[in-house]
Amino acid sequence: MSDKDNNNKKVTSVEVARLAGVSRSAVSRSFTPNASVSQETREKVMQAAQALGYRVNKLASSLINNRSDLVGIIASNMDNPFRSRQVEYLAKTLLANNLRPILLLVEGEEDPSRIIGMLLEYNVSGVIVTSDTPPQSICEECVTLGVPMVLVNKDQTDARVDRVLLDNPRSGRIAAETLFASGCRRLAVVTTLKPSYSLHVRVGAFTERCRSLGIETVARFSASEQSYDGGRYAADCLMAAPEQTDGVFCVSDYMAMGFLDQLRLKQQIAVPQRLKVISCDDIPQAGWPVYDLSSIRQDPEQLAEMVVKVLLERIHNPEIPAAVKVLDVSLTERNSTAN
């Protein structure tokens, strides 16, 4: 007969109360931090709970205190390592803060009302959006319903929702300056046809900084999607292009990987001898010797910490004005921009 030998079904607080010889309230209080219980009672309760294998039913308690501690993560494009790492660290950080991530993976043109429905049905304590397409309608509904919401690296006109941004303008500027410092004078940008907010800002800041440095971006190669294959496509464009370029800014490491691989495969243009390349994210792959890619680091761990911090603040204080946190970025210089 082991301790947890209640071989059958759910144990409720009344059974714990009975075994401990106290009331159900005492049990509840014992599991509530800073509640008004004597040490003695709490110990009795905990002991009984242990023996019975009791666990508080958060679904029931959320009914009372309206805190489910469930947090929706809306994400997409998990094939991009940067995105999947982002989700990974978000999930881990939420867990570490006693919140439970519900992972909602969306794809292209998803029905937003379905997503909203899920969130609302489960009375989530908050929502984190990292997907490229956070339908405006979701934001609005969450705001009016008082569901805390944090947007990651998103533009947002609605001033009532919290946002955590990477310093995209700075990323663009660093890219320009680094290529310039490496001696590049005829630059190209590799991006997508319909860039997301952050990509758009990066490119804008890049071209602007180039201009102020007195150099021109002579070409732009836009793939239909932000992916490895998109990067390869851009490389093909570059090799076929009439303009001679000596430096390239890729909007993401993921694209840069495809870009570099395609260059290497065709062996027409050596990196970094004839062409320098820099990109954004600094995912682990950028550090792989085969790429050895200079990249502007966006630390997903730090990002996750900040997102959860902002979320928790809003949960505890729903009335404070929306925060916009901008996280610093930093250059990791590697061989792809070496002289």
Partner DNA sequence: CTGTTAGCGCTTTCAC
Partner DNA sequence: GTGAAAGCGCTAACAG
- Residue from 6, 23, 222, 302 that binds DNA (CB under 7 A)? 23
Among candidate residues 255, 312, 318, 308, the one with its CA nearest the CA of residue 286:
255
CA dist 116 and 235 (Å) reads 40
Under DSSP, the state recorded for 323 is P
- How many other CB atoms sit within 10 Å of the CB of residue 49? 22
Asked if 14 touches DNA (CB under 7 A), the answer is: yes
User: What tokens were used for 79?
Assistant: 């094939």
Nearer to its own copies, 81 or 247 (CB): 81
Asked if 181 touches DNA (CB under 7 A), the answer is: no
Residue owning tokens 């998803």: 110
- Residue from 4, 10, 266, 274 that binds DNA (CB under 7 A)? 10
Q: Please, which residues have CB within 8 angstroms of residue 259's CB and are 6 or more apart in sequence?
A: 190, 231, 232, 234, 235, 248, 250, 277
Asked if 12 touches DNA (CB under 7 A), the answer is: yes
Residue 228 binds: one of DNA, its own copies, none (C-beta under 5 to 8 A by kind) = its own copies
CA dist 74 and 79 (Å) reads 15
Nearer to its own copies, 214 or 316 (CB): 316
Residue 140 corresponds to which amino acid?
E
Q: How far apart are CB 324 and its own copies at their closest, in Å?
A: 24
Q: Which of residues 281-310 bind its own copies (CB under 8 A)?
A: 284, 288-290
Residue 13 corresponds to which amino acid?
S
Do residues 74 and 104 lie in contact, with contact meaning Cβ atoms separated by under 8 Å? yes
Judged by CB under 7 A, the stretch of 5-13, 76-84, 256-264, 330-338 that binds DNA is 5-13
State phi, psi for 42 to the nearest 5 degrees.
-55, -45
Residue 65 binds: one of its own copies, DNA, none (C-beta under 5 to 8 A by kind) = DNA
Nearer to DNA, 20 or 219 (CB): 20
Residue 7 binds: one of its own copies, DNA, none (C-beta under 5 to 8 A by kind) = its own copies
Judged by CB under 7 A, the stretch of 9-17, 137-145, 159-167, 220-228 that binds DNA is 9-17
Asked if 159 touches its own copies (CB under 8 A), the answer is: no
Residue owning tokens 């908050």: 126
Q: How far apart are CB 17 and its own copies at their closest, in Å?
A: 18
Asked if 13 touches DNA (CB under 7 A), the answer is: yes
User: What tokens were used for 175?
Assistant: 């890219």
Asked if 173 touches DNA (CB under 7 A), the answer is: no
Q: How far apart are CB 95 and DNA at their closest, in Å?
A: 20
Q: Which of residues 95-134 bind its own copies (CB under 8 A)?
A: 95, 100-105, 107, 117-118, 120-123
How many of the chain's residues bind DNA (CB under 7 A)? 29
Asked if 57 touches DNA (CB under 7 A), the answer is: yes
Where do runs of H (alpha helix) occur along the chain? 13-20, 24-30, 39-52, 58-65, 81-96, 112-121, 136-145, 168-181, 197-213, 228-240, 253-266, 300-316
CA dist 329 and 339 (Å) reads 23
Asked if 78 touches its own copies (CB under 8 A), the answer is: yes
CA dist 235 and 266 (Å) reads 10
CA dist 307 and 140 (Å) reads 19
User: What tokens were used for 224?
Assistant: 């239909």
Do residues 307 and 278 lie in contact, with contact meaning Cβ atoms separated by under 8 Å? no
Binding site for its own copies (CB under 8 A): 4, 7-10, 53, 55-60, 62-63, 68, 70, 73, 78-79, 81, 84-85, 87-88, 91-92, 95, 100-105, 107, 117-118, 120-123, 141, 144-146, 228, 232, 261-262, 264-265, 284, 288-290
Binding site for DNA (CB under 7 A): 10, 12-14, 21-29, 31-32, 36-38, 40-41, 54-57, 60-61, 63-65
